[in-house]
């Protein structure tokens, strides 16, 4: 089953460009469904999808859940804190128990990189990665690409800046990989302490001067910043972060062309992004949220659906 | 429990036509070994025996000293579900080892004379020599020195808090000073925790690609450098375990140039694998220190070539399947290594044109020299500890070759070169090769 090259969506790394194209095209047709008064199609009737969340997440889980419901799939939510799992029942037992209940697909969010790849060894269901540690978050990158495509019509040749903590960002990783595949240019900007070694090898450039990046870019994806991670401070203060890497009203106003603003949420207003910027007409942050549902519907359908895309109602 | 085939040696046992490698005299010749009541009587080119004698013709096979591993974790006491002294001994024999030094990071740790005695007493009935390493500090807490002298009297052969680094340089200084009168080394697991943080694999392009938090090589080299300077300053005896990075090699080389009492070991897995092998998140390759780059691997091989690294040690670290089936960040560090040690090392070193005789030294006289053990195992009257090797055999390691209680080996499915077909230890003949065994032991 499935209309894509691979059975699962584990990351964008192994997704060929044709499949990215198919996902985005399908997402746009589902986007039309979302604009109808009755936003539901029977596409996945009779299929069961488990949302397996080993890490707290509201947005992504709701987005997936909504996508599943709009496609008429049966959904079950399973949330567990990672700490209880490290001690008690093993990961393998947990997932095998869930699969024993006859399910078709698993949407998994997990704090450990590579966990979805791990999961493929223990279950037969279709697996969709909803974020694995700092590794990948493919549906987020796809919804970002969809939003860019909606805005610009074409992804090829677009200049995209990604601003913030690159080291700990699965959003950044998947975005770099995806955007490179479709022929966009990517420049990363953030404190050097949060720039991972060898990230250029994924095809991105690094520029530590935010004003230069904002001037160069057609759109910027601003990442949520966290000053402390497991007791380690990666930059001295929020004030200094904002001074160097905050996308402020003043910075944006100085630009001589409009700059499209994206943020995967949740935002720290006044830290990595100013409220005026986030709420400006060039911001497509809320479109990203809506497109998120459409992209997830597309992926669920392409991986779990029975009928080819053309015959879809 | 899985055991090798074994039989008591006949009173007079004559090994004939072996390619005998004597790593103590650095000699290699076709010849014979005569063993009487489990002890070496004679080693020479042709031995005439008039008494009734059991003959074992090993033409085409190498016969040399039994291997010595100075770094293994047998998990007893505390985690007998992973390994015991008994099961670990079988794994050792399968790999050609007749002497194994066990690390003290057990539960409780081997940090008292009583715990050292516990291991020594348990080991008396076992088919190999098991020699305990005591902790450097009480409870491995890195603060107060353990009763090293009393542990030494009970049979501790070295001191280490392995698994954990000694972060406090002052404690290391006092440990090196205090142990110097016993002449045994301090072994410090060199990984600076403030640089390692929550790192999961070597920091570089692969950690970035896989989204795993990286462990920079400086987390090792900075501590190796510090340890060596303290060793130079105190004149104490320092052994650097499982060297993994090119940078650490520079400091060890420098220490040797200064003629300080510094020795070093490398593991077979650091010689065989590189960080790119972690693609796919194989938790069996999660080890501490981490597997590093191809450049590091080449530096380690060169270190063996020119003697900067003294020996190969397994860091045999058994873990249950359940533990290793966890997602990567939650899986414990370590892999088993006794069964594969020679096959993996010889595979790599043969490719790198290091002669067999040199490789044998890395498993025999060199580790024994570090801990001050008997070096001349071909001397008259010595308890026979020998390994018989088919050094030309290419084989693929699989789970059937495992004798350890655990199965966490990244070598499963990998090609190895050289196979230990038989071992003589504690007046018995051991083999995991039925054809070979039945040929001589019927
Ligand atoms: Zn260690």
Percent of chain A with pLDDT over 90: 83
User: Has residue A88 got a pLDDT over 90?
Assistant: no
A72 touches A44 (CB < 8 A): yes
Q: CB of A228 within 8 Å of any CB in chain B?
A: no
User: Has residue B315 got a pLDDT over 80?
Assistant: yes
pLDDT value at residue A313? 44
User: Across the strands, what pairs with A205?
Assistant: A187
CATH 3.40.50.1370 residue spans of chain A: 17-134+292-306, 138-289
**Which positions ≥6 away from A26 have C-beta within 8 Å?**
A298, A301, A302, A309
Chain B contacts of A132, Cβ < 8 Å? 211
* CA B264 / ligand 1 centre spacing (Å): 12
pLDDT value at residue B54? 86
Catalytic residue numbers of B read 315
**Which positions ≥6 away from B191 have C-beta within 8 Å?**
B165, B215, B219, B220, B223, B288, B289
pLDDT value at residue A83? 56
Q: Average pLDDT for residues B126-154, to the nearest whole number?
A: 97
Using the structure block, give the residue that is written with the tokens 């008690």.
Answer: A88
* CA B125 / ligand 1 centre spacing (Å): 28
The partner residue sitting opposite A230, judged by closest CB among B198, B208, B326, is B198
User: Has residue A87 got a pLDDT over 60?
Assistant: no
Give the nearest chain B residue to A133 (CA atoms).
Answer: B211
Q: How many CB atoms lie within 10 A of CB B324?
A: 18
* CA B163 / ligand 1 centre spacing (Å): 5
Q: How many helices (H) and strands (E) does chain A have?
A: 12, 11
Chain B contacts of A112, Cβ < 8 Å? 327-330
User: Has residue B146 got a pLDDT over 60?
Assistant: yes
Q: CB of A109 within 8 Å of any CB in chain B?
A: no
Tell which residue, B155, B157, B151, B122, has the closest CA to residue B137. Answer: B151
Chain A contacts of B203, Cβ < 8 Å? 197
* CA B207 / ligand 1 centre spacing (Å): 21
Chain A contacts of B192, Cβ < 8 Å? none
CA distances from B292 to B246, B287, B300 (A): 9, 10, 11
Lowest mean pLDDT among B50-54, B181-185, B228-232, B418-422: B50-54
User: Has residue A85 got a pLDDT over 70?
Assistant: no
CA Rg, chain A, in Å? Answer: 19
Give the HSE-up count for residue A208: Cα atoms under 13 Å, Cβ half-sphere.
Answer: 6
Cβ-defined contact of B328 to A135 (cutoff 8 Å): no
User: Has residue B257 got a pLDDT over 60?
Assistant: yes
Which is more confidently placed, B363 or A87? B363
What's the CATH architecture for B66-370?
Alpha-Beta Barrel (3.20)
Chain A contacts of B330, Cβ < 8 Å? 86, 91, 112
Cβ-defined contact of A92 to B325 (cutoff 8 Å): yes
CA distance B198 to chain A (A): 8
Q: CATH number for the B5-64+381-440 domain, one of 3.20.20.150, 3.40.50.1820, 3.30.70.1060, 2.30.40.10?
A: 2.30.40.10
Confidence of residue A310 (pLDDT cuts 50, 70, 90): low
CA distance B142 to chain A (A): 22
Q: Average pLDDT for residues A178-207, to the nearest whole number?
A: 96
Q: Average pLDDT for residues A254-266, to the nearest whole number?
A: 95
User: Has residue B441 got a pLDDT over 80?
Assistant: no
ipTM of the complex: 0.90
User: Across the strands, what pairs with B240?
Assistant: B264
CA distance A134 to chain B (A): 5
Chain B contacts of A117, Cβ < 8 Å? 280-281
CATH 2.30.40.10 residue spans of chain B: 5-64+381-440
User: Has residue A79 got a pLDDT over 90?
Assistant: no
Which is more confidently placed, B176 or A307? B176
* CA B335 / ligand 1 centre spacing (Å): 12
Confidence of residue A10 (pLDDT cuts 50, 70, 90): very high
Tell which residue, B294, B370, B374, has the closest CA to residue B98. Answer: B374
Lowest mean pLDDT among A89-98, A123-132, B145-154, B349-358: A89-98
* CA B164 / ligand 1 centre spacing (Å): 7
CA distances from A211 to A248, A253, B173, B284 (A): 10, 11, 51, 45
pLDDT 10s digits, A139-149: 999 999 999 99
Mutation target among A12, A87, A193, A197 for the B interface, most CBs of B within 10 A: A197
User: Has residue B350 got a pLDDT over 50?
Assistant: yes
Q: How many CB atoms lie within 10 A of CB A31?
A: 19
CA distance B412 to B398: 5
* CA A132 / ligand 1 centre spacing (Å): 29
DSSP strand pairing (B27-36 vs B214-215) = unpaired
pLDDT value at residue A311? 47
| B253-258: long-range contacts, CB 8 A cutoff, minimum separation 24 | B253/B303, B253/B308, B254/B228, B255/B228, B255/B231, B256/B307, B256/B308, B258/B232
Q: How many helices (H) and strands (E) does chain B have?
A: 15, 19
pLDDT value at residue B414? 98
Interface of B with A (CB under 8 A): 197-198, 200, 203-205, 207-214, 280-281, 322, 325-330
Residue ranges of alpha helices (H) inside B205-267 are 205-210, 218-234, 246-257
pLDDT value at residue A245? 97
Q: Is B18 helix (H, G, I), strand (E, B) or coil?
A: strand
Q: CB of A170 within 8 Å of any CB in chain B?
A: yes
pLDDT value at residue A239? 94
User: Has residue A89 got a pLDDT over 80?
Assistant: no
Lowest mean pLDDT among A188-202, B51-65, B350-364, B410-424: B51-65
Cβ-defined contact of B327 to A117 (cutoff 8 Å): no
Report chain B's mean pLDDT, rounded to a whole number.
Answer: 96
For A138-289, which CATH class?
alpha beta
Crossing angle of helices A170-181 and A138-152, in 10° steps, is 50
Confidence of residue A312 (pLDDT cuts 50, 70, 90): very low
Report chain A's mean pLDDT, rounded to a whole number.
Answer: 93
Confidence of residue A93 (pLDDT cuts 50, 70, 90): confident
Mutation target among A52, A198, A204, A230 for the B interface, most CBs of B within 10 A: A198
CA distances from B357 to A80, B137, B198 (A): 56, 38, 41
Q: CATH number for the A17-134+292-306 domain, one of 3.40.50.1370, 3.40.50.280, 1.20.1300.10, 3.40.190.10?
A: 3.40.50.1370
Chain A contacts of B324, Cβ < 8 Å? none
Confidence of residue B194 (pLDDT cuts 50, 70, 90): very high
CA distance B195 to chain A (A): 11
pLDDT value at residue A308? 61
Q: What angle do CA B345, B346, B347 make, to 5 degrees?
A: 90
Q: Average pLDDT for residues B78-84, to the nearest whole number?
A: 97
pLDDT value at residue A160? 98
pLDDT 10s digits, A285-302: 999 999 999 999 999 999
B96 touches B420 (CB < 8 A): yes
CA distance B208 to chain A (A): 6
The partner residue sitting opposite A133, judged by closest CB among B208, B211, B280, is B211
The four Cα atoms B316, B317, B319, B323 give a dihedral, to 10 degrees, of -130
CA distance A259 to A277: 10
Tell which residue, B64, B67, B70, has the closest CA to residue B314. Answer: B70
């Amino acid at each position: 089953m499935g209309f894509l090259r691979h059975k699962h969506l584990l990351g964008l790394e192994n997704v060929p460009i044709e499949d990215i194209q198919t996902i985005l095209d399908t997402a746009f047709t589902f986007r039309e469904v979302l604009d109808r008064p009755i936003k539901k199609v029977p596409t996945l009737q009779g299929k069961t999808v488990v949302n397996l969340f080993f890490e707290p997440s509201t947005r992504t889980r709701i987005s997936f859940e909504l996508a599943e419901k709009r496609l008429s799939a049966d959904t079950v939510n399973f949330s567990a804190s990672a700490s209880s799992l490290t001690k008690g029942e093993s990961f393998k037992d947990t997932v095998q128990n869930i699969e024993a209940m006859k399910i078709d697909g698993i949407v998994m969010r997990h704090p450990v990189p590579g966990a979805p790849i791990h999961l493929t060894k223990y279950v037969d269901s279709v697996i969709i990665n909803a974020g694995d540690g700092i590794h990948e978050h493919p549906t987020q990158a796809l919804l970002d690409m969809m939003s860019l495509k909606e805005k610009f019509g074409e992804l090829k040749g677009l200049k995209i800046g990604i601003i913030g903590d690159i080291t700990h960002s699965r959003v950044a990783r998947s975005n770099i990989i995806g955007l490179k595949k479709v022929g966009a240019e990517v420049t990363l900007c953030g404190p050097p302490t949060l720039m991972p070694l060898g990230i250029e090898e994924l095809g991105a450039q690094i520029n530590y001067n935010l004003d230069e990046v904002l001037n160069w870019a057609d759109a910027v994806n601003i990442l949520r910043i966290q000053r402390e991670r497991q007791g380690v401070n990666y930059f001295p203060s929020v004030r200094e972060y904002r001074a160097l890497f905050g996308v402020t009203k003043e910075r944006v106003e100085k630009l001589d062309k409009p700059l499209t603003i994206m943020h995967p949420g949740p935002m720290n207003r006044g830290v990595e992004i100013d409220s005026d910027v986030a709420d400006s007409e060039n911001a497509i942050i809320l479109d990203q949220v809506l497109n998120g549902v459409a992209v997830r519907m597309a992926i669920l359908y392409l991986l779990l659906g029975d009928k080819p895309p053309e015959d879809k109602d | 429990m899985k055991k090798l085939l074994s039989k008591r040696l006949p009173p007079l046992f004559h090994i004939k036509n072996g390619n005998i490698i004597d790593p103590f005299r650095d000699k290699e010749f076709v010849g014979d070994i005569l063993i009487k009541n489990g002890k070496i009587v004679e080693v020479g080119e042709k031995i005439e025996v008039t008494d009734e004698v059991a003959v074992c013709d090993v033409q085409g096979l190498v016969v040399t000293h039994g291997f010595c591993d100075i770094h293994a974790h047998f998990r007893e006491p505390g985690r007998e579900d992973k390994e015991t002294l008994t099961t670990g001994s079988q794994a050792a024999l399968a790999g050609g080892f007749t002497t194994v030094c066990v690390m003290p990071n057990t539960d409780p740790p081997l940090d008292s004379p009583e715990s050292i005695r516990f291991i020594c007493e348990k080991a008396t009935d076992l088919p190999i020599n098991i020699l305990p390493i005591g902790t450097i500090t009480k409870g491995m807490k890195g603060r107060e020195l353990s009763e090293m002298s009393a542990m030494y009297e009970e049979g501790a052969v070295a001191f280490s808090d392995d698994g954990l680094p000694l972060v406090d340089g002052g404690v290391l200084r006092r440990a090196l000073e205090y142990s110097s009168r016993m002449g045994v080394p301090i072994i410090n697991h060199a990984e600076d925790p403030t640089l390692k943080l929550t790192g999961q694999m070597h920091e570089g392009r692969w950690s970035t690609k896989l989204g795993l938090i990286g462990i920079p090589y400086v987390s090792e080299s900075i501590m190796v450098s510090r340890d060596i300077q303290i060793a130079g300053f105190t004149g104490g005896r320092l052994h650097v375990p499982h060297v993994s990075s090119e940078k650490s090699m520079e400091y060890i080389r420098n220490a040797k140039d200064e003629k300080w009492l510094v020795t070093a070991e490398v593991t077979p897995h650091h010689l065989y694998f590189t960080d790119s092998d972690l693609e796919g998140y194989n938790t069996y390759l999660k080890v501490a220190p981490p597997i590093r780059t191809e450049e590091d691997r080449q530096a380690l091989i060169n270190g063996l070539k020119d003697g900067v690294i003294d020996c190969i040690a397994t860091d045999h670290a058994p873990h249950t399947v359940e533990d290793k089936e966890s997602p990567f960040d939650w899986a414990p560090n370590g892999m088993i290594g006794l069964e594969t040690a020679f096959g993996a090392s010889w595979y790599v070193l043969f490719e790198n044109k290091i002669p067999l005789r040199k490789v044998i030294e890395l498993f025999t006289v060199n580790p024994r020299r570090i801990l001050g053990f008997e070096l001349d195992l071909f001397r008259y009257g010595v308890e026979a500890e020998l390994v018989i090797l088919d050094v030309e055999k290419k084989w693929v390691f699989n789970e059937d070759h495992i004798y350890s209680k655990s199965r966490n080996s990244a070598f499963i499915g990998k090609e190895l070169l050289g196979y230990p077909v038989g071992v003589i230890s504690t007046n018995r003949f051991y083999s995991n090769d039925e054809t070979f065994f039945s040929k001589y032991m019927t």
